[in-house]
Amino acid sequence: MRSLMTAFCAALGVIPILLSSGVGAEIEKPLSIVLIGGLVTSTLFTLLVLPTVYVLVERIKDQYTRQSA
């Protein structure tokens, strides 16, 4: 839950840069898009993919130890 709150706060802090149209916005806007995209993908990876991989590895390990015994 802590990583979700951290990513949300970081993305919320970058939104003004994303919506800006002043001097330097042509450089900062693409950077903010990449930053928000990275925060979203890393959060989804941490919350969905890693636990799924962990469960699958544990199941394979359990099957291997049952076959060996």
Helix (H, G, I), strand (E, B) or coil at 48: helix
Query: Which residues, in sequence order, are CB contacts of 7 under 8 Å at separation 6+?
Result: 39, 40, 42, 43
Residue spans per domain, the chain: 2-68
d(CA 7, CA 27): 22
- The number of beta carbons lying within 10 Å of the beta carbon of residue 45 is 11
Tens-digit pLDDT profile for the chain (69 aa)? Answer: 788 899 999 999 999 999 999 898 999 999 999 999 999 999 999 999 999 999 999 999 999 988 876
CA atoms within 13 A on the CB side of 7: 17
